[in-house]
Amino acid sequence: MVVFIHVFSGSSLTAQCNDSDFPFVRFMILFARSFFSGQCVPIYFFIAGFVFFQGMNLSMHSYDRKMNDRFKSLFIPYLAWNTLGMLLILISNISIFSGPYVLSGVIPDIHISNIINMYWNGVEGIAYHIGDSVSCSVSQNMNTYPVDSPLWFVRDLMIVSVSAPVLNILLKRFGIWFSVVAGILWLSLPQAGLGHAYQLITAYFFFSSGAYMSFDNRCLLADLKWIRVFSFVLYPVIASGLLIYSYTDYCDAKMIIECGYGFGPACYFKQLAVLAGLPFAYNIAVMIVDRWKIKALSTLAAASFFIYAGHMLFVSLVETLLSMIIKPVTDLEIIVILTLSVLLLIFCLLDIFIVMRKYIPKLLSLFTGGCF
């Protein structure tokens, strides 16, 4: 789902499509942004909060153990993937390799401070992006992403995990009300131009909500199951409303959905869609496992983080190579390229994972935290 979102809603190819010339591509872009963009990471934070506190009373010993585990499973892969991303930018600017990456529009500026910034905010790092999919004119409103942009989730999850003792005290003292206050801030401030601070509000709201469910020994299955039918109706209705609004005020909606700020109705449509999408996605997953008896394949489960963390580094390369082969001029050809990009990214990274697990497992452990 994350790969689909990034290819169809924010890739270099979709940024070049003139909306009047490619109406079906425009629909697919707006559909991806309305229904799926922004949905996954809040769910990840919620699950992470639930798992972090599950079955334990936080103590100094358990906290040290958790931090040691998170250092291996989050921090080491975070450094590895972003270092790889930085190296790919440098390699892509060597003249003999520059062709496939010409769409990325990157000029390297190598200084120590810029190298360090690549692990926090890639826009201020060695890579100066001269062309973005959306021109967000107010830079302070922009979220911050490391060079391997999907890993902003891992970065902020590490921050929230380190502050778990404080969160533990707040949950004990205030219970669900801490999450309620965080939720009010999250709902009311997306257009306030807070940048990374708003990303942290997102992290604390959903992480603390999941933590409360675990902390209070609540049954996640039972609590979300009773609103299953409601979520199955509410989420599609809200997301459809966002899609319709995107057509009536395309420029405003495009800025809000991609840049995370704005003052139009799309901003609040999106927030409500994310809230309704959490129980919707959870109940779909429960039905897959419980009702349809579909179990996860061990290889796919083990490779999921590898694919999640690695796909964005190769989106431009894959799309550029496919564009050179197909040379798209129609809606259908562009959709074919985007669909093939999703499939190629997933299957190629899965193959790389399988080969590395067999022949170089120690190197693979740097990129997966040993989770394979």
- Going from the first residue of the chain to its last (372 residues), give the mean pLDDT of each consecutive group of 10, the final group possibly shorter: 87 64 84 88 93 81 91 95 90 58 55 85 67 37 84 96 93 90 90 85 95 80 80 92 77 49 66 91 85 79 93 90 89 92 96 95 92 68
Q: Token pair of 87, please?
A: 């190296």
How close are the terminal C-alpha atoms of the chain, in Å? 21
The confidence score (pLDDT) of residue 20 equals 63
Helix axes 361-368, 331-359, angle to 10 degrees: 120
Segment holding 63, helix H or strand E: helix 60-70
The confidence score (pLDDT) of residue 16 equals 64
The confidence score (pLDDT) of residue 184 equals 94
Query: In the chain, what are the domain boundaries?
Result: 42-218
The confidence score (pLDDT) of residue 127 equals 63
DSSP 74: I
CB 235 within 8 A of CB 276: yes
User: Letter for the amino acid at 97?
Assistant: F
Task: Write down the pTM of the prediction.
Answer: 0.87
CA atoms within 13 A on the CB side of 108: 17
Rounded distance between C-alpha atoms, residue 104 and residue 178, angstroms: 42
The confidence score (pLDDT) of residue 160 equals 96
Query: DSSP 3-state assignment of 106?
Result: strand
Instruction: From residue 348, give the alpha-carbon distance in Å to each of 124, 298, 314, 345.
Output: 30, 18, 10, 5
Instruction: From residue 8, give the alpha-carbon distance in Å to each of 14, 32, 153, 175.
Output: 7, 6, 20, 39
